[in-house]
Structure 1
Amino acid sequence: MKLVEGVYGVVNGRHVKSYAVETSSGMKFTCIEYGCIITEILIPDSNGLKENVVLGFDTLAEYIDHSPYFGCVIGRNAGRIGGAAFEIDGVTYHLANNDGENNLHSGANGFHNVIWDSAVVVKDTEVSITFSYMSPDGEAGFPGNLQVEVTYTINENNELLIQYQAQSDQNTIVNLTNHSYFNLSGNLKRTILDHELTLHSDGFLELDETLIPTGEIISVEGTPFEFRKSKQIGQGIEAGHPQITLVGGGYDHPFLLSPVQNQSQMTLFDLESGRKLEIETEEPAVVFYSGNMLTDDFNIRGTQSQKHLGLCLETQKPPNMIDDLRFPSIILEKNQQYTTQTVYSFGWDEGTGPMSHQ
Structure 2
Amino acid sequence: MIATPAHAQGAITKDVFGTLTDGTKVDRYTLSNGQGMRARILTYGGIVQTLDVPDRKGRPGNVVLGFATLKDYVDKNGGPYFGAIIGRYANRIAKGRFTLEGKTYQLPVNNGPNSLHGGLKGFDKKLWKAEPVRDKDTVGLRLTYTSADGEENYPGTLQTTVTYTLTKTNELRIAYQAKTDKTTVVNLTNHSYFNLAGEGSGDAYDHRMEINADRYTPVDETSIPLGPLAPVRGTPFDFTRPHTIGERIRDNHPQLLIGHGYDHNYVLNQRKPGALTPAAQVTDPRTGRVMRVSTTEPGVQLYTANFLDGTLTGTSGRTYRQGDAFCLETQHFPDSPNQPTFPSTTLHPTQTFTSTTIYAFTTT
TM-score category by the smaller chain?
over 0.9
User: Could you state the TM-score of these two structures normalised by the residue count of structure 2?
Assistant: 0.93
CA contact (8 A) 2:33 2:139 kept: no
Q: Deviations over 1:295-317 (max 9, x none)?
A: 21121131111111111101011
Q: How many residues align?
A: 348
| Aligned residue in 1 for 2:268 | 257
Q: Deviations over 1:54-73 (max 9, x none)?
A: 00112110111222100001
For the residues of structure 1 that align with 2:326 and 2:338, how far apart are their CA atoms?
29
Please list, as runs of the form range in 1=range in 2, the aligned pairs for 1:87-236 lying within 5 A after superposition: 87-236=99-248
Give yes or no for the alignment of 1:326 onto 2:341.
Answer: yes
| Aligned residue in 2 for 1:282 | 296
Change (3 A) 1:4 1:176: same
Compute the displacement of 1:117 (Å). Answer: 0.5
Change (3 A) 1:263 1:326: closer
For the residues of structure 2 that align with 1:69 and 1:187, how far apart are their CA atoms?
16
| Aligned residue in 1 for 2:3 | none
For the residues of structure 1 that align with 2:262 and 2:24, how far apart are their CA atoms?
38
Partner of 1:62: helix, strand, or coil? Answer: helix
Please list, as runs of the form range in 1=range in 2, the aligned pairs for 1:64-103 lying within 5 A after superposition: 64-67=74-77, 68-103=80-115
For the residues of structure 1 that align with 2:105 and 2:182, how far apart are their CA atoms?
13
For the residues of structure 1 that align with 2:208 and 2:151, how far apart are their CA atoms?
40
Give yes or no for the alignment of 1:309 onto 2:324.
Answer: yes
For the residues of structure 1 that align with 2:212 and 2:361, how far apart are their CA atoms?
18
Compute the displacement of 1:321 (Å). Answer: 1.4
AA aligned to 1:255 is: Y
Partner of 2:323: helix, strand, or coil? Answer: coil
CA contact (8 A) 1:323 1:329 kept: no
Partner of 1:322: helix, strand, or coil? Answer: helix
For the residues of structure 1 that align with 2:55 and 2:200, how far apart are their CA atoms?
13
Work out which of the residue numbers 331, 334, 338 in structure 1 matches 2:353.
338
CA contact (8 A) 2:217 2:266 kept: yes
Compute the displacement of 1:193 (Å). Answer: 0.8
For the residues of structure 2 that align with 1:265 and 1:314, how far apart are their CA atoms?
10
For the residues of structure 2 that align with 1:142 and 1:263, how far apart are their CA atoms?
30
AA aligned to 1:281 is: T
Compute the displacement of 1:263 (Å). Answer: 7.9
Partner of 2:72: helix, strand, or coil? Answer: helix
Q: Which moved more, 1:149-158 or 1:3-12?
A: 3-12
AA aligned to 2:82 is: F
CA contact (8 A) 1:276 1:346 kept: yes
User: Could you state the TM-score of these two structures normalised by the residue count of structure 1?
Assistant: 0.94
| Aligned residue in 2 for 1:23 | 33
AA aligned to 2:310 is: D
Give yes or no for the alignment of 1:246 onto 2:258.
Answer: yes
Compute the displacement of 1:260 (Å). Answer: 5.6
Give yes or no for the alignment of 1:270 onto 2:284.
Answer: yes
For the residues of structure 1 that align with 2:304 and 2:90, how far apart are their CA atoms?
16
CA contact (8 A) 1:170 1:335 kept: no
AA aligned to 2:188 is: L
Compute the displacement of 1:132 (Å). Answer: 0.4
AA aligned to 1:65 is: D
| Aligned residue in 2 for 1:351 | none
Compute the displacement of 1:323 (Å). Answer: 4.9
Compute the displacement of 1:3 (Å). Answer: 1.4
Gaps of 5+ in 1: 349-354
Partner of 1:308: helix, strand, or coil? Answer: coil
Gaps of 5+ in 2: 1-9
| Aligned residue in 2 for 1:43 | 53
Give yes or no for the alignment of 1:3 onto 2:15.
Answer: no
For the residues of structure 2 that align with 1:323 and 1:237, how far apart are their CA atoms?
29
Q: Deviations over 1:179-219 (max 9, x none)?
A: 00000011321211111101010010010011101112110
